[in-house]
Amino acid sequence: MTAYMKDKILNYINDKGPVSGATLAKMFNISRQAINKHIKTLIEKGEIRKEGTTRGVQYIKIDRHDQEEGITAFKKKYLLEGLEEHTVFEQFESTLNLRKNLGKNAYEIVRYAFTEIMNNAIEHSNSRYCDVEGVLYPYRCRFIIRDYGIGVFFSIYKTFDLEDENSAILEVMKGKKTTMEKRHSGEGIFFTSKSGDYVSFRSHKVKLSFENIAEDVLLETHKHQKGTEVIFEISRRSKRLINDIFNKYAPEEYDYKFEKTRVYVRLLQKELVSRSEAKRLLFGVERFKEVLLDFKGVTMLGQAFADEVFRVFKKQHPGTAIKIENLSSSLEPMIFHIVDNKI
């Protein structure tokens, strides 16, 4: 992409607000295929972001000064002892006038995600205080909840005696893992992570981010930060339905129970060769009836790893179906060899 074309596209999006790919192609008299390449590059560089789905997709410019231009209408510190999440949400909702300023879909998702994350801070963090901030931008809503306690990944790591905090990240992403099994199902973080346009969990040296419009996840290492910080963003006119998110992983075929999960394999390693790595990846997934392994970004599979996942585990846990997605064509022969050409 030339700097000239980049500036033209960015200036047009900035002037017009959310625009579709078709509009951009028509405006600059280039093909849809060409404009899609430009759009992909700008998204990857963090210059623009996508809102909506399928035919309703539009693109907006990410303003580095959004914080100043947005309406920062809510910022408060709470003492967590005796606090109830619905009380905090009512204050947050009232101050930002969310029922008026958000579409119905966005409002329901924000209410669900906010109360789930707030409840986690109250009941799991072992923190005395919690900071809550809410911001309304022209096209999106953001809230940040940060506690100063044990840390979400460290808590799971210690409770279940896992190998390290990275192993805890995998368990959080799978769902059904909670430090208070008698009172919680372990589903809250899982479904919250799927419900926003952008959701991140930062704890200690790790930041786990979900870009749900792009259907991608990112794991980063940062300077140590005490406690857990959750950032949640969603388009104010989001077309996403909270029930669709639940139905995807708790479908009718499983009596609306949380029986499906997705595991991003590359968060363990991009090169997977051993049985021990396979066992870490599959730890606890026998609790589900269907497990989708997303191999996006994985560059190597060893025979021992593949055998453990697709033969040994299947034999030991016939009630759990293993499915795969985004597997590189160069890695298919290894799996075909293990499962007799049947995936």
If asked whether residues 127 and 17 sit together in one domain, one would say: no
221-237 pLDDT, tens digit each: 888 889 999 999 998 98
Q: Are residues 153 and 297 in the same domain?
A: no
Taking only the tens place, the pLDDT of each residue in 276-323 is 999 989 988 998 999 999 998 899 999 999 999 999 999 999 999 999
Of 181, 210, 243, which residue constitutes the final position of a domain? 243
Residue 216 shares a structural domain with residue 333: no
Lowest mean pLDDT among 159-163, 190-194, 338-342: 338-342
Would residue 126 count as lying in a domain?
A: yes
Same domain, 217 and 80: yes
The answer as to whether 157 is a domain residue is yes
What pLDDT, on the 0 to 100 scale, is given for residue 71? 63
What would the mean pLDDT of 198-219 be, rounded to a whole number? Answer: 86
- Domain C-terminal end among 243, 271, 305: 243
The continuous run of DSSP H or E covering 42 comes out as helix 32-44
Q: Is 330 exposed, middle or buried (0-12, 13-18, 19+ CB in 10 A)?
A: exposed
Task: Name which of 20-24, 41-45, 73-77, 125-129 the model is least confident about.
Answer: 41-45
- Cβ-based neighbour number of residue 44 at 10 Å: 10
Instruction: Tell me whether residue 190 is in a domain.
Output: yes
Contact residues for 87 (Cβ-Cβ < 8 A; gap 6+)? none
Average pLDDT (120-143) is 91
- Domain hosting 334: range is 259-338
- What is the pLDDT confidence band of residue 66, given thresholds at 50, 70 and 90? very low
The answer to whether 190 and 179 are in contact (CB under 8 A) is no
Structure pTM? 0.73
Distance CA 301, CA 267 (A): 14
Has residue 91 been placed in a domain? yes
Q: Return the bridge partners of 200, or none.
A: 209, 231
Residue at 96 is within a domain: yes
Averaged confidence pLDDT in the chain: 85
**Structural domain count, the chain:** 3
pLDDT at 68: 42
200 with 117, same domain: the answer is yes
Question: Of 243, 271, 286, which residue is a domain's last?
Answer: 243
| Number of DSSP helices (H) and strands (E) in the chain, helices first | 15, 12
